[in-house]
Amino acid sequence: MLFAAAVALALVLPRKPAGPADHPILTAGHGLVPVGFSALPGFGDDDLTTPFAAFLRSCAHGREEALASPCTSATALDDPVDAETARAFFEGHFQAYRIDPVDDEAVITAYYEPVVAGSLRKTADFPTPLYPLPPDFVRVTGENRPEGWDDTLSWGRRTSAGLVPTPTRAEIDAGALGDDLEPLVYVADPIEAFYIHIQGSTRIALTDGSTVRIGYAGKNGHPYSSVGKAMMDRGIRPDGGFSMDSMRAYFHADLDRARDLMQVNKSYIFFRKIKDLPADLGPIGGEGVPLTAGRSIAVDTKFHAYGTPIFIDSQPQIGDNRAPAPFRRLMIAQDTGSAIKGPARADLFWGTGEAAGSMAGGIKAGGTFYVLLPKD
């Protein structure tokens, strides 16, 4: 009797319910479970007009093949789209699937766009450079990868003898880029520069009252390493834990100590100036479109195409006194990052400025991810 019941239950609840057979989440061994929109916690209460506008920006930039049909339908709708129309669009064109990662781990963190004081010229107050991508740095691909090249290095430096590894963060700090590369801007200290590298973009508030926006242009291609993990491995715990504010305070207390820890992360980011970007939108994400605060996420693009809607049900530390509070929101995949790995991993773009940064730096939580895939 028990065996028969178990067999019947297995037939009703298969271990690996079928989604689109060739989807990378399934081919990597993870699960996709089809669910109705009414089963998504809080989905019925979410205002979908903002994620719809973010989705339209993805469609306008360059439609992923898988999203061609819903993009065509979305762009045909009269502007502006109201909440009822936005909901009908998502529910009519997509099927929701719960992502069941093989390790049962889903993680959300958050990031932001800093606003940092700086200068276009090196001064006593602003001596630390933020660099453009060196012209001899190139991506390493299957076509140009030298024989025996370290697989962990994704960029190289072009020389007369061929590609060579790029310098690490410590080597760049020591002057490995030489004197010919003109910095884009200068900021107050290496700690400010390090956090701008982590966020990938910033608004520089210049001394004349104007603002320059810079965004990601490339990197040195060395693997990203977590400084927080390095501190834990060394038995270091800042007062207040490992929030961004606490770590900043710890670093500012001893710049030499901070530099030693920051150089554990060999990865180094380069920037470009961003022009004509509306002030109410965030920086340009990996997809090439401006991010929307509270609605854009960075994902692992091995599993999610840019523009994909993903509903997140979580309890991050966003309530009073950093208490966990419900976060049930439809997000759009528009960015990526070196530390974002796996199908149920997302970095939420929280917004611009100090308050957004303080909140984003304390967010780390589990949750449930539901990916919306086109019906046709």
Spell out a b/e string for 60-92, using b for 16 or more CB atoms within 10 Å of the CB, else e.
ebebbeebeebbeebeeeeeebeeeebbebbbe
pTM value is 0.76
143: its two tokens: 């076509």
Contact 370, 111 (CB under 8 A): no
Output the pLDDT for position 19. 57
Is residue 365 situated within a structural domain?
yes
CA distance 287 to 194: 23
Task: Read off the CATH number of the domain in which 70 is found.
Answer: 2.40.40.10
Residue 236 CB-density burial (10 A; 0-12 exposed, 13-18 middle, 19+ buried): middle
Per-residue pLDDT of the chain (376 residues; tens, 9 = 90+): 433 433 333 334 333 444 578 899 999 999 999 999 999 999 999 999 999 999 999 999 876 788 999 999 999 999 899 999 999 999 999 999 999 999 889 999 999 998 999 999 999 999 999 999 999 999 999 899 999 999 999 999 999 999 999 999 999 999 999 988 999 999 999 999 999 998 888 999 999 999 999 999 999 999 999 999 999 999 999 998 888 889 999 999 999 999 999 999 999 999 999 988 888 899 999 999 999 999 999 999 999 999 999 999 999 999 998 899 999 999 999 999 878 999 999 999 999 998 998 899 889 999 999 999 999 7
Helix 190-199 vs helix 255-262: crossing angle, to nearest 10: 30
CA–CA separation, 78 vs 118, rounded Å? Answer: 43
pLDDT of residue 85: 98
Expressed in percent and rounded to 5, the helix, strand and coil fractions of the chain are 30, 25, 45
Q: Which of 370, 269, 372, 322 is nearest to 110 (CA)?
A: 322
Residue 84 lies in a domain: yes
Q: What is the 3-state secondary structure (H, E, C) of 292-325?
A: CCCCEEECCCCCCCCCCEEEEEECCCCCHHHCCC
* Residue type at 105 in one-letter notation: E
In a domain? residue 79 = yes
- Domain total in the chain: 1
The parent domain of residue 57 ranges over 18-113+281-376
Domain contains 301? yes
Cα separation, 253 vs 128, whole angstroms:
18
User: Is residue 3 a part of any domain in this protein?
Assistant: no
Report the distance separating Cα 228 and Cα 262, nearest Å. 9
Before 24, cis peptide (omega within 30)? no
Provide long-range contacts, Cβ within 8 A and 24+ apart, for 75-81: 80/49, 81/49, 81/52, 81/53
CA distance 341 to 173: 28
**What letter represents residue 50's amino acid?**
T
Residue 186: inside a domain? no
Give the per-residue pLDDT at 62: 74
Structure-block tokens of residue 314:
């979580």
Q: For residue 290, what is the DSSP state?
A: B
Whether residue 247 is contained in a domain is answered as: no
Determine, yes or no, domain membership for 173. no
